[in-house]
Homo-oligomer: A and B are copies of this chain.
Amino acid sequence: MRQASVRAHNLALVLRQVAAADRPPSRADVAASTGLTRATVSALVDDLVGGGLLAEVGPAPRSGAGRPATGLVLHGYGPAGLGLEINVDYLAGCVVDLTGTVRHRAVLHGDQRPLAPDAVLAAVADLGARLRAEARAAGRTVAGAALAVPGLVSGTGLVHRAPNLAWHEVDAAGVLATGPLGDLPLTIDNEANLAALAELHAGGPDSFVYVSGEIGIGAGIVLHRDLFRGARGWSGELGHVCVRPDGPLCRCGALGCLEQYAGQEALLRDLPPGEAGLARLRDDAALAEGRLPAAGRSLGVALAGVVNMLDVGTVVLGGIFGPLTPWLAPAVEAELARRVLTAAWAPMTVRASALGPAAAAVGAAGAVVRDILAEPAEWVLR
Protein backbone atom coordinates (compact mmCIF):
# COMPACT_ATOMS: atom_id res chain seq x y z
CA MET A 1 0.00 0.00 0.00
CA ARG A 2 1.29 3.41 -0.96
CA GLN A 3 0.57 6.90 0.31
CA ALA A 4 -1.46 7.54 -2.80
CA SER A 5 -4.00 5.06 -1.49
CA VAL A 6 -4.39 7.17 1.63
CA ARG A 7 -5.34 10.04 -0.64
CA ALA A 8 -7.72 7.86 -2.62
CA HIS A 9 -9.29 6.57 0.56
CA ASN A 10 -9.73 10.04 2.01
CA LEU A 11 -11.17 11.46 -1.20
CA ALA A 12 -13.83 8.76 -1.04
CA LEU A 13 -14.34 9.41 2.67
CA VAL A 14 -15.01 13.10 2.14
CA LEU A 15 -17.31 12.39 -0.76
CA ARG A 16 -19.26 9.89 1.32
CA GLN A 17 -19.72 12.39 4.11
CA VAL A 18 -21.05 15.01 1.74
CA ALA A 19 -23.39 12.48 0.11
CA ALA A 20 -24.68 11.23 3.45
CA ALA A 21 -25.28 14.64 5.01
CA ASP A 22 -28.85 15.83 5.14
CA ARG A 23 -27.89 19.44 4.42
CA PRO A 24 -24.87 20.80 2.54
CA PRO A 25 -21.97 20.51 4.99
CA SER A 26 -19.06 22.91 5.18
CA ARG A 27 -15.44 21.85 4.95
CA ALA A 28 -15.31 22.29 8.72
CA ASP A 29 -18.31 19.99 9.18
CA VAL A 30 -16.66 17.34 7.06
CA ALA A 31 -13.44 17.71 9.02
CA ALA A 32 -15.33 17.26 12.28
CA SER A 33 -17.24 14.21 11.11
CA THR A 34 -14.27 12.46 9.51
CA GLY A 35 -11.62 13.27 12.09
CA LEU A 36 -9.35 14.75 9.44
CA THR A 37 -8.02 18.28 9.91
CA ARG A 38 -9.63 21.19 8.16
CA ALA A 39 -6.41 21.70 6.22
CA THR A 40 -6.59 18.21 4.79
CA VAL A 41 -10.27 18.42 4.04
CA SER A 42 -9.74 21.69 2.22
CA ALA A 43 -7.10 20.12 0.00
CA LEU A 44 -9.29 17.10 -0.70
CA VAL A 45 -12.35 19.21 -1.44
CA ASP A 46 -10.32 21.34 -3.85
CA ASP A 47 -9.49 18.20 -5.81
CA LEU A 48 -13.09 17.02 -5.78
CA VAL A 49 -14.45 20.39 -6.90
CA GLY A 50 -11.78 20.58 -9.59
CA GLY A 51 -12.73 17.11 -10.75
CA GLY A 52 -16.38 18.02 -11.07
CA LEU A 53 -17.67 15.74 -8.35
CA LEU A 54 -18.48 18.39 -5.74
CA ALA A 55 -19.94 21.86 -6.10
CA GLU A 56 -20.07 24.77 -3.69
CA VAL A 57 -23.42 26.30 -2.84
CA GLY A 58 -24.29 29.54 -1.15
CA PRO A 59 -24.05 29.59 2.62
CA ALA A 60 -27.08 28.32 4.48
CA PRO A 61 -28.52 31.01 6.79
CA ARG A 62 -27.14 30.19 10.18
CA SER A 63 -27.52 31.61 13.63
CA GLY A 64 -24.59 32.71 15.72
CA ALA A 65 -21.39 34.59 14.99
CA GLY A 66 -18.61 33.63 12.64
CA ARG A 67 -17.72 33.58 9.03
CA PRO A 68 -20.44 31.81 7.08
CA ALA A 69 -19.63 28.40 5.67
CA THR A 70 -19.75 27.47 2.02
CA GLY A 71 -21.94 24.42 1.58
CA LEU A 72 -20.78 21.38 -0.33
CA VAL A 73 -23.06 19.24 -2.49
CA LEU A 74 -22.62 16.49 -5.03
CA HIS A 75 -22.25 18.08 -8.44
CA GLY A 76 -25.54 17.88 -10.32
CA TYR A 77 -23.77 18.24 -13.64
CA GLY A 78 -20.82 15.96 -12.98
CA PRO A 79 -20.54 12.50 -14.46
CA ALA A 80 -23.83 10.64 -14.87
CA GLY A 81 -24.72 6.95 -15.05
CA LEU A 82 -26.69 5.19 -17.77
CA GLY A 83 -28.82 2.26 -16.64
CA LEU A 84 -30.37 -0.23 -19.06
CA GLU A 85 -32.69 -3.14 -18.49
CA ILE A 86 -33.70 -6.02 -20.68
CA ASN A 87 -36.73 -7.88 -19.45
CA VAL A 88 -39.15 -10.36 -20.93
CA ASP A 89 -41.86 -7.89 -21.86
CA TYR A 90 -40.06 -4.52 -21.96
CA LEU A 91 -36.80 -2.66 -22.41
CA ALA A 92 -36.00 0.26 -20.16
CA GLY A 93 -33.28 2.82 -19.57
CA CYS A 94 -32.53 5.87 -17.49
CA VAL A 95 -29.84 8.42 -16.71
CA VAL A 96 -29.03 9.25 -13.10
CA ASP A 97 -26.82 12.08 -11.89
CA LEU A 98 -24.36 11.96 -8.99
CA THR A 99 -27.04 12.85 -6.47
CA GLY A 100 -29.03 9.77 -7.46
CA THR A 101 -31.76 11.76 -9.18
CA VAL A 102 -33.26 10.20 -12.29
CA ARG A 103 -32.86 12.82 -15.04
CA HIS A 104 -34.05 10.97 -18.14
CA ARG A 105 -35.94 7.75 -18.62
CA ALA A 106 -37.57 5.68 -21.32
CA VAL A 107 -39.44 2.38 -21.55
CA LEU A 108 -40.21 0.32 -24.64
CA HIS A 109 -42.97 -2.21 -24.05
CA GLY A 110 -43.03 -5.37 -26.12
CA ASP A 111 -42.37 -9.07 -25.83
CA GLN A 112 -38.65 -9.70 -26.38
CA ARG A 113 -38.93 -13.48 -26.58
CA PRO A 114 -39.52 -13.69 -30.34
CA LEU A 115 -36.41 -11.59 -31.05
CA ALA A 116 -32.87 -12.86 -31.41
CA PRO A 117 -30.48 -11.77 -28.63
CA ASP A 118 -28.51 -9.56 -31.01
CA ALA A 119 -31.67 -7.71 -32.04
CA VAL A 120 -32.68 -7.15 -28.42
CA LEU A 121 -29.21 -5.91 -27.56
CA ALA A 122 -29.19 -3.58 -30.55
CA ALA A 123 -32.55 -2.17 -29.49
CA VAL A 124 -31.46 -1.56 -25.93
CA ALA A 125 -28.22 0.03 -27.12
CA ASP A 126 -30.24 2.32 -29.34
CA LEU A 127 -32.44 3.25 -26.39
CA GLY A 128 -29.31 3.96 -24.36
CA ALA A 129 -27.80 6.10 -27.10
CA ARG A 130 -30.96 8.22 -27.26
CA LEU A 131 -30.92 8.77 -23.50
CA ARG A 132 -27.23 9.61 -23.65
CA ALA A 133 -27.91 12.26 -26.29
CA GLU A 134 -30.69 13.70 -24.13
CA ALA A 135 -28.33 13.85 -21.18
CA ARG A 136 -25.62 15.54 -23.24
CA ALA A 137 -28.11 18.12 -24.48
CA ALA A 138 -28.97 18.86 -20.85
CA GLY A 139 -25.29 19.35 -19.99
CA ARG A 140 -24.50 16.00 -18.40
CA THR A 141 -21.86 13.53 -19.49
CA VAL A 142 -22.60 9.84 -19.20
CA ALA A 143 -19.51 8.26 -17.66
CA GLY A 144 -20.51 4.60 -17.77
CA ALA A 145 -23.35 2.18 -18.27
CA ALA A 146 -24.77 -0.88 -16.55
CA LEU A 147 -27.18 -3.40 -18.01
CA ALA A 148 -29.68 -5.51 -16.09
CA VAL A 149 -30.58 -8.91 -17.50
CA PRO A 150 -33.01 -11.49 -16.04
CA GLY A 151 -30.47 -14.28 -15.90
CA LEU A 152 -27.12 -15.54 -14.71
CA VAL A 153 -24.27 -13.25 -15.71
CA SER A 154 -20.54 -13.71 -15.30
CA GLY A 155 -18.21 -10.85 -14.43
CA THR A 156 -16.99 -10.62 -18.00
CA GLY A 157 -20.42 -9.72 -19.33
CA LEU A 158 -21.35 -13.15 -20.58
CA VAL A 159 -24.99 -14.11 -20.03
CA HIS A 160 -24.79 -17.79 -19.18
CA ARG A 161 -28.52 -18.32 -19.09
CA ALA A 162 -31.61 -16.17 -19.18
CA PRO A 163 -34.21 -18.93 -19.11
CA ASN A 164 -37.24 -16.75 -19.64
CA LEU A 165 -35.65 -15.07 -22.64
CA ALA A 166 -34.32 -18.41 -23.86
CA TRP A 167 -30.81 -16.94 -23.94
CA HIS A 168 -27.86 -19.26 -23.63
CA GLU A 169 -24.22 -18.14 -23.45
CA VAL A 170 -24.84 -14.75 -25.03
CA ASP A 171 -21.80 -12.44 -25.05
CA ALA A 172 -23.79 -9.30 -24.30
CA ALA A 173 -20.74 -7.20 -23.47
CA GLY A 174 -19.12 -8.19 -26.73
CA VAL A 175 -22.18 -7.26 -28.78
CA LEU A 176 -22.66 -3.91 -27.04
CA ALA A 177 -18.98 -3.03 -27.44
CA THR A 178 -19.53 -2.68 -31.18
CA GLY A 179 -22.65 -0.49 -30.93
CA PRO A 180 -23.24 3.18 -30.18
CA LEU A 181 -22.34 2.67 -26.52
CA GLY A 182 -19.10 0.88 -27.33
CA ASP A 183 -16.97 3.67 -25.91
CA LEU A 184 -18.56 3.53 -22.44
CA PRO A 185 -17.33 1.32 -19.62
CA LEU A 186 -20.11 -1.26 -19.24
CA THR A 187 -21.04 -3.74 -16.56
CA ILE A 188 -23.75 -6.36 -16.83
CA ASP A 189 -25.57 -7.77 -13.85
CA ASN A 190 -28.55 -9.74 -12.76
CA GLU A 191 -31.85 -7.89 -12.75
CA ALA A 192 -32.71 -8.77 -9.14
CA ASN A 193 -29.30 -7.61 -7.92
CA LEU A 194 -29.67 -4.21 -9.52
CA ALA A 195 -33.27 -3.81 -8.42
CA ALA A 196 -32.11 -4.54 -4.88
CA LEU A 197 -29.52 -1.78 -5.20
CA ALA A 198 -32.23 0.59 -6.38
CA GLU A 199 -34.26 -0.31 -3.31
CA LEU A 200 -31.22 0.34 -1.11
CA HIS A 201 -30.57 3.76 -2.62
CA ALA A 202 -34.25 4.63 -2.39
CA GLY A 203 -33.97 4.39 1.38
CA GLY A 204 -34.15 0.68 2.08
CA PRO A 205 -32.72 -0.78 5.28
CA ASP A 206 -29.05 -1.73 5.55
CA SER A 207 -29.72 -5.43 5.04
CA PHE A 208 -32.59 -7.07 3.22
CA VAL A 209 -33.60 -9.62 0.63
CA TYR A 210 -35.26 -8.13 -2.41
CA VAL A 211 -37.58 -10.66 -4.02
CA SER A 212 -38.00 -9.93 -7.68
CA GLY A 213 -41.16 -11.43 -9.12
CA GLU A 214 -41.08 -11.31 -12.89
CA ILE A 215 -41.73 -14.31 -15.10
CA GLY A 216 -39.30 -16.15 -12.83
CA ILE A 217 -38.43 -15.39 -9.22
CA GLY A 218 -35.04 -13.93 -8.37
CA ALA A 219 -33.57 -12.41 -5.26
CA GLY A 220 -31.04 -9.67 -4.64
CA ILE A 221 -29.36 -9.77 -1.27
CA VAL A 222 -28.07 -6.62 0.39
CA LEU A 223 -26.00 -6.97 3.56
CA HIS A 224 -24.67 -3.95 5.39
CA ARG A 225 -25.47 -1.71 2.41
CA ASP A 226 -23.45 -3.93 0.12
CA LEU A 227 -24.67 -6.25 -2.58
CA PHE A 228 -23.97 -9.85 -1.63
CA ARG A 229 -22.91 -11.93 -4.61
CA GLY A 230 -22.03 -15.26 -3.05
CA ALA A 231 -18.90 -17.20 -3.78
CA ARG A 232 -18.93 -17.10 -7.58
CA GLY A 233 -21.39 -14.34 -8.36
CA TRP A 234 -24.51 -16.43 -8.95
CA SER A 235 -26.35 -16.00 -5.72
CA GLY A 236 -30.03 -15.34 -5.25
CA GLU A 237 -31.70 -18.10 -7.27
CA LEU A 238 -34.67 -18.06 -4.93
CA GLY A 239 -37.07 -19.35 -7.57
CA HIS A 240 -35.34 -22.70 -7.53
CA VAL A 241 -35.19 -23.21 -3.80
CA CYS A 242 -37.13 -26.36 -2.98
CA VAL A 243 -40.47 -25.99 -1.23
CA ARG A 244 -41.61 -29.63 -1.53
CA PRO A 245 -39.05 -32.29 -2.45
CA ASP A 246 -41.75 -34.27 -4.29
CA GLY A 247 -43.58 -31.30 -5.82
CA PRO A 248 -44.28 -30.63 -9.49
CA LEU A 249 -41.51 -30.75 -12.06
CA CYS A 250 -39.88 -27.40 -12.74
CA ARG A 251 -38.44 -26.19 -16.04
CA CYS A 252 -35.00 -26.46 -14.40
CA GLY A 253 -35.39 -30.21 -13.99
CA ALA A 254 -35.89 -30.30 -10.23
CA LEU A 255 -39.04 -31.05 -8.25
CA GLY A 256 -41.04 -28.61 -6.17
CA CYS A 257 -39.15 -25.37 -6.87
CA LEU A 258 -40.68 -22.20 -5.45
CA GLU A 259 -41.32 -20.95 -8.97
CA GLN A 260 -43.90 -23.71 -9.41
CA TYR A 261 -45.91 -22.33 -6.49
CA ALA A 262 -45.38 -18.58 -6.65
CA GLY A 263 -44.08 -17.82 -10.14
CA GLN A 264 -46.13 -15.69 -12.49
CA GLU A 265 -47.38 -18.73 -14.39
CA ALA A 266 -48.61 -20.35 -11.20
CA LEU A 267 -50.33 -17.18 -10.01
CA LEU A 268 -52.06 -16.64 -13.34
CA ARG A 269 -53.16 -20.21 -14.03
CA ASP A 270 -56.45 -20.03 -15.98
CA LEU A 271 -56.11 -16.25 -16.26
CA PRO A 272 -54.86 -14.18 -19.20
CA PRO A 273 -51.07 -13.90 -19.14
CA GLY A 274 -49.11 -10.75 -18.42
CA GLU A 275 -50.42 -7.44 -17.19
CA ALA A 276 -54.05 -8.28 -17.99
CA GLY A 277 -54.06 -11.28 -15.67
CA LEU A 278 -52.23 -9.40 -12.94
CA ALA A 279 -54.83 -6.63 -13.10
CA ARG A 280 -57.58 -9.23 -12.67
CA LEU A 281 -55.78 -10.56 -9.63
CA ARG A 282 -55.39 -7.11 -8.11
CA ASP A 283 -58.98 -6.10 -8.71
CA ASP A 284 -60.85 -9.29 -7.89
CA ALA A 285 -60.56 -9.62 -4.12
CA ALA A 286 -62.08 -13.08 -3.97
CA LEU A 287 -59.73 -14.34 -6.66
CA ALA A 288 -56.71 -12.83 -4.92
CA GLU A 289 -57.79 -14.17 -1.55
CA GLY A 290 -58.26 -17.54 -3.14
CA ARG A 291 -54.80 -18.12 -4.54
CA LEU A 292 -52.31 -15.58 -3.22
CA PRO A 293 -52.11 -16.74 0.42
CA ALA A 294 -51.06 -20.22 -0.72
CA ALA A 295 -48.32 -18.68 -2.88
CA GLY A 296 -47.34 -16.51 0.07
CA ARG A 297 -46.96 -19.57 2.27
CA SER A 298 -44.62 -21.18 -0.24
CA LEU A 299 -42.69 -17.96 -0.51
CA GLY A 300 -42.51 -17.85 3.27
CA VAL A 301 -41.20 -21.41 3.50
CA ALA A 302 -38.42 -20.65 1.02
CA LEU A 303 -37.59 -17.31 2.60
CA ALA A 304 -37.51 -18.82 6.08
CA GLY A 305 -34.73 -21.11 4.91
CA VAL A 306 -32.88 -18.15 3.45
CA VAL A 307 -33.26 -16.15 6.63
CA ASN A 308 -32.15 -19.04 8.81
CA MET A 309 -28.97 -19.22 6.79
CA LEU A 310 -28.33 -15.51 6.06
CA ASP A 311 -29.99 -13.89 9.06
CA VAL A 312 -31.53 -11.00 7.14
CA GLY A 313 -34.19 -9.06 8.99
CA THR A 314 -36.21 -7.57 6.15
CA VAL A 315 -37.88 -9.01 3.06
CA VAL A 316 -38.86 -6.60 0.30
CA LEU A 317 -41.39 -7.84 -2.24
CA GLY A 318 -40.77 -6.36 -5.68
CA GLY A 319 -41.73 -6.81 -9.31
CA ILE A 320 -45.20 -8.29 -9.69
CA PHE A 321 -45.18 -9.16 -5.98
CA GLY A 322 -45.06 -5.47 -5.07
CA PRO A 323 -48.71 -4.64 -5.83
CA LEU A 324 -49.81 -8.04 -4.52
CA THR A 325 -48.13 -7.57 -1.15
CA PRO A 326 -51.38 -7.02 0.81
CA TRP A 327 -52.44 -10.60 0.03
CA LEU A 328 -48.98 -12.17 0.16
CA ALA A 329 -47.38 -10.55 3.18
CA PRO A 330 -49.57 -12.05 5.94
CA ALA A 331 -48.82 -15.59 4.80
CA VAL A 332 -45.12 -14.83 4.33
CA GLU A 333 -44.93 -13.26 7.76
CA ALA A 334 -46.71 -16.17 9.39
CA GLU A 335 -44.31 -18.71 7.92
CA LEU A 336 -41.29 -16.59 8.83
CA ALA A 337 -42.50 -16.14 12.39
CA ARG A 338 -42.95 -19.88 12.78
CA ARG A 339 -39.88 -21.12 10.95
CA VAL A 340 -37.12 -18.59 11.60
CA LEU A 341 -35.18 -19.60 14.67
CA THR A 342 -34.30 -16.08 15.75
CA ALA A 343 -37.75 -14.65 15.03
CA ALA A 344 -38.61 -14.60 18.72
CA TRP A 345 -36.17 -11.86 19.63
CA ALA A 346 -35.24 -10.46 16.21
CA PRO A 347 -38.56 -9.86 14.48
CA MET A 348 -38.87 -9.99 10.72
CA THR A 349 -40.31 -7.29 8.48
CA VAL A 350 -42.05 -7.94 5.16
CA ARG A 351 -42.91 -4.99 2.96
CA ALA A 352 -43.59 -3.99 -0.61
CA SER A 353 -40.88 -2.44 -2.72
CA ALA A 354 -40.83 1.34 -2.79
CA LEU A 355 -40.01 1.23 -6.48
CA GLY A 356 -42.15 1.25 -9.56
CA PRO A 357 -41.52 -0.73 -12.72
CA ALA A 358 -38.07 -0.81 -14.32
CA ALA A 359 -36.48 -0.73 -10.89
CA ALA A 360 -33.47 -2.59 -12.22
CA ALA A 361 -32.72 0.13 -14.77
CA VAL A 362 -32.68 2.72 -11.99
CA GLY A 363 -30.50 0.45 -9.89
CA ALA A 364 -28.13 -0.05 -12.79
CA ALA A 365 -27.70 3.68 -13.35
CA GLY A 366 -27.30 4.16 -9.62
CA ALA A 367 -24.62 1.50 -9.53
CA VAL A 368 -22.59 3.43 -12.09
CA VAL A 369 -22.61 6.64 -10.10
CA ARG A 370 -22.04 4.80 -6.83
CA ASP A 371 -18.94 3.27 -8.36
CA ILE A 372 -17.64 6.73 -9.23
CA LEU A 373 -18.44 8.01 -5.75
CA ALA A 374 -16.75 4.99 -4.18
CA GLU A 375 -13.51 5.50 -6.12
CA PRO A 376 -13.27 9.20 -6.87
CA ALA A 377 -9.49 9.06 -7.18
CA GLU A 378 -9.70 7.41 -10.57
CA TRP A 379 -12.01 10.15 -11.73
CA VAL A 380 -10.25 13.13 -10.12
CA LEU A 381 -6.61 12.26 -10.73
CA ARG A 382 -7.16 11.24 -14.37
Interface, chain A (partner B; CB < 8 A): 1-3, 5-6, 9-10, 13, 152, 160, 206-207, 219, 221, 223-224, 229-238, 240-245, 252-255, 257, 297-298, 301-302, 304-306, 308-313, 338-342, 345-346
Contacts and interface: CB of A to CB of B under 8 A. Distances in A.
Contacts of A232: 207, 311, 313, 342, 346
Nearest to A314: B231
Nearest to A222: B231
Contact of A253 (B223, B231, B338): B338
Given A232-B342, A305-B305, 8 more contacts: A1-B13, A152-B342, A231-B311, A235-B309, A237-B341, A240-B341, A255-B338, A257-B339
Contact of A231 (B2, B223, B345): B223
Contacts of A245: 243-244, 297-298, 301
B219 A309 contact: yes
Copies in the complex: 2
A212 B223 CA distance: 24
A230 B302 CA distance: 17
Contacts of A304: 241-242, 254
Contacts of A3: 3, 6
A237 B241 CA distance: 16
A362 B152 CA distance: 38
A339 to B, nearest CB: 4
A310 B229 CA distance: 7
24 contacts: A1-B9, A1-B13, A3-B3, A3-B6, A5-B6, A6-B6, A206-B231, A221-B309, A224-B231, A230-B311, A230-B312, A231-B310, A232-B311, A235-B309, A237-B309, A240-B341, A241-B308, A241-B309, A242-B304, A244-B244, A245-B301, A252-B341, A254-B304, A310-B310
A373 to B, nearest CB: 17
A237 B339 CA distance: 11
Contacts of A235: 309-311
Contacts of A207: 231-232
A241 B254 CA distance: 18
B308 A238 contact: yes
Contact of A1 (B6, B152, B252, B254): B6
Which 6 interchain pairs have the tightest Cβ spacing?
A230-B311, A207-B231, A237-B308, A241-B305, A254-B339, A234-B311
